[in-house]
Chain A
Amino acid sequence: MVTPTFRFDPVEMPPEALETRKEVRAFIKEHEHLMGFSRGEFNRDFSRAMGKKGWIGMTWPKQYGGHERTSFERYVVIEEMLVAGAPLSAHYTGDRQSGPNMLRFGTEEQKNYFLPRIAAGEMAFCIGMSEPNSGSDLAGTRTRAQKVDGGYKINGTKLWTSNAHRADYAILFCKMAGDGKEEPDRHAGATQFLLDLKSPGIDIRPVINLLGEHHFNEIFLTDVFVPDNRLLGAEGNGWNQLTSELSFERSAPDRFLVLFQMLQQMIRMAGPEPDKATAAALGKLISQLATLRSMSVSIAGMLQEGINPNNESAVVKDLGTRYEQDIPVVARQLFPAEPELEAIDLYSSMIARSTMNAPRFSIQGGTREILRGIIARGLGLR
């Protein structure tokens, strides 16, 4: 065959991962009152408790507060937490992408300062990529950093920044201020900074989402000073670093486990002896889920071997969002209910939440079209 195929080799979880799973399940039981259906709560106490367990920064070197565990053990912790609906938001971004990106591109001082704090569940990160005029086309960023004495002065606007109002730092993507002439290379001057969200000149304003929740924000940056030692990587290397960060973001199993409890609820409602059509509809979803999970475990295997799973992650995310968007569609066919967000009846609120959240699945972290573009590039078509 000539066409490159994506590789999802079957992998078996090593025994230590099975041990970890037991521990995580016990921990979840202990914290049952904090678990719930797909809310992505931000709970620093919970993150600290996870940090104590050694479940943040699990694969990082011990010298930076990590635990040098395998990618499989990390995978198990994350999938168990996602399925339980644990409040992960206060550490998840740092664990998943900001930390790994620093590990790869950061200075010794940055690694020593930030990584142990993230791993302890004490420091929350958010993602400063999107802007009003730069969404899918991140190279079109208009945020500019200008070199000044001892650091940089940054001006611009970030948008859709999840949890910025609760986080401590952002990894900010922008460009170095040029001489005003058009750069021939769209990626020229791209640079990332570790931005302290308490710096003077930062104004974080809520953007209320369609569920009526305050989840994301708009960040206005006016002459914000960032010291030299908070430049991440190198000036001008930002595009390369951003690509790496996005690849970390997409390799996680959070694109198909968010609605797990709703699938469970549907099984509960179907009862032990459903009719054939109901069983088939549920069976199709379960088969998709089982397949996605095995593909995702195989990505953990690639990470463990140091192979970049960029294309494979895009495939799993694309298939995963499709599956999650199918869940409310199948649900309303099998068990019609008028959606109500705060309904006493758990299922009606699940229908409400999943229906309203569905559109975001194929937008955040790279839209469906952008992911398919990545896959097409992996196939050698562009």
Chain B
Amino acid sequence: MAIRDETRMLLESMGRLFEDHCTKQVADAAETGVFAQGLWDAVAETGVPLAALPESAGGADAEWSDLYAALRVAARFSAPIPLAETMLAGWAASSSGLETSDGPMTVGPVRLSDALTLRRDGNGWRLSGTASRLPYASFATRTVLIADGPDGEMVAAFDGTGGSDLAKGKNIANESRDTLQFNDVRLSSDQVAPVAGGVSRAALYRRGALARATMMSGALEKAMDLAVTYAQERVQFGRPISKFQAVQQNLAVLAGQTAAAVAAANLGIEALEKTSPEREEFLIAVAKTRVGEAATLACEIAHQVHGAIGFTKEYSLQLSTRRLWSWREEFGADPEWAARVGAYACRRGADNLWPMLTDG
């Protein structure tokens, strides 16, 4: 099977790490606007956030498939840290020869409608425009953005939020999503470089969407685990509710949707850097579409099975479901990605549909 031993070991050790450092208390505390520094430090210690970088740049030349698998584990534990963002920021900055940071980083734009432009100013650059809803920007030690330069896309990387106006925001899981406004902000020449090594705004958006799809598959695994476990413990009418066929059938659907979500995310992950950008986009679009569909159905069932307890702040199901409802809209909602899948298929024509699915 394609799951390598090193991958398994990495995932097991990540699982243990989150088990120890990402308790419900940690997740709850992060929602009050305090960064989960202890958790971040423990994760950073493993080197995973920058592991994709070449060894020369302080990374480990790790496989993206392993890193995405680690994201899935982090999401099972609702880890309130910008792990995906830091991985992607490191990739975008380092590929373009810019500096990275050991601390949490944010990356953008995360929305297609945002516009950022760089113009020359003497030796340096001036950055203008808006980067909306950047994950964890308030806590970022470094921000990495892709902007339009005079000769094409460029990467800008700077400490903190680099003199922008920051408007705080959050998603419904209370993960910070801050909007940065740049009004001719000055950057030095070593903070800006043309995109290189496959980095582009479109590639970032794809990888971001895939990160969310993968994280959602992890959150779904958690929600399913909670629902199945709870159903076996909760007694009504003298027996565990898991003995009622209606409940069993719901849980079977939940399990099916969860399995489909994991498989769909894997389709995107396996395509990453292994095929043409066009095909990569197609399979990532499939992933975000299918996982989004699964999330909608699965959240409904996970809550139904839990009754009122699942609707409380005290019980942890909401840590997963609020993330699922947030993440399915981030880096493009499933209907948006579904339209891309459909457009891609229609452009290539009916006779190419089957080869598109089977031929790498």
A residues contacting B by CB (< 8 A) are 1-3, 5-6, 8-12, 21, 79, 83, 260, 263-265, 267-268, 270-274, 276-284, 286-295, 298, 301, 305, 312, 315, 318-319, 369, 371-373, 375-376, 378-382
Task: Say whether B339 contacts A291, CB under 8 Å.
Answer: no
Q: A12-B2, A286-B342 are in contact. Are A260 and B251 (CB under 8 A)?
A: no
Task: Say whether A315 contacts B270, CB under 8 Å.
Answer: no
Task: Say whether A276 contacts B263, CB under 8 Å.
Answer: no
Task: Say whether B339 contacts A279, CB under 8 Å.
Answer: yes
Q: Which of B339, B350, B353, B354 contacts A280 (CB 8 A)?
A: B339
Complex alpha-carbon distance, A188 and B287, angstroms: 47
Task: Say whether A289 contacts B255, CB under 8 Å.
Answer: no
The answer to whether the Cβ of B34 comes within 8 Å of any Cβ in the partner chain is no
Q: Which of A10, A371, A373, A381 has the most CB of B within 10 A?
A: A381
7 inter-chain pairs at a CB distance below 8 angstroms, sorted by A residue, are A1-B221, A279-B342, A282-B342, A290-B357, A291-B263, A294-B267, A372-B252
Q: Which of A8, A83, A267, A371 contacts B259 (CB 8 A)?
A: A8
Q: A284-B341, A379-B255 are in contact. List 19 more A-B contacts (CB 8 A).
A: A1-B221, A1-B225, A2-B229, A5-B258, A5-B262, A260-B354, A268-B349, A270-B346, A274-B342, A279-B342, A280-B338, A284-B293, A286-B345, A286-B353, A293-B358, A294-B263, A315-B260, A375-B256, A381-B242
A374 to chain B, nearest CB (A): 8
B residues contacting A by CB (< 8 A) are 1-3, 76, 221-222, 224-225, 228-229, 231-232, 242-243, 245, 248-249, 251-253, 255-256, 258-260, 262-264, 266-267, 269-270, 283, 285-287, 289-290, 293, 334-347, 349-351, 353-354, 357-358
Task: Say whether B263 contacts A8, CB under 8 Å.
Answer: yes
Q: Which of A1, A3, A277 has the most CB of B within 10 A?
A: A3
Complex alpha-carbon distance, A260 and B346, angstroms: 15
Task: Say whether B346 contacts A274, CB under 8 Å.
Answer: yes
Q: Which of B2, B228, B259 contacts A10 (CB 8 A)?
A: B2
Q: A287-B289, A288-B290, A375-B252 are in contact. Are A11 and B1 (CB under 8 A)?
A: yes
Q: A1-B225, A271-B346, A288-B290 are in contact. Are A318 and B256 (CB under 8 A)?
A: yes
Task: Say whether B248 contacts A381, CB under 8 Å.
Answer: yes
Q: Which of A11, A268, A279 contacts B343 (CB 8 A)?
A: A279
A261 to chain B, nearest CB (A): 9
| Least CB separation from A375: chain B residue | B252
Q: Which of A3, A6, A83, A265 contacts B350 (CB 8 A)?
A: A265
Task: Say whether A283 contacts B249, CB under 8 Å.
Answer: no
- Given the complex, which residues of B lie within 8 Å of A376, measured CB to CB? 248-249, 251-252
Complex alpha-carbon distance, A378 and B255, angstroms: 10
Task: Say whether B252 contacts A287, CB under 8 Å.
Answer: no
Task: Say whether B353 contacts A295, CB under 8 Å.
Answer: no
Complex alpha-carbon distance, A267 and B341, angstroms: 12
Q: Which of B76, B229, B260, B342 contacts A281 (CB 8 A)?
A: B342
Q: Which 9 A-B pairs have the closest CB atoms?
A: A279-B342, A283-B341, A283-B342, A283-B338, A372-B252, A375-B252, A376-B248, A282-B342, A287-B289
- Given the complex, which residues of A lie within 8 Å of B263, measured CB to CB? 8, 10, 291, 294-295, 298
Complex alpha-carbon distance, A301 and B228, angstroms: 27
| Least CB separation from A301: chain B residue | B1
Complex alpha-carbon distance, A287 and B344, angstroms: 12
A126 to chain B, nearest CB (A): 29
A323 to chain B, nearest CB (A): 10
Complex alpha-carbon distance, A338 and B129, angstroms: 53
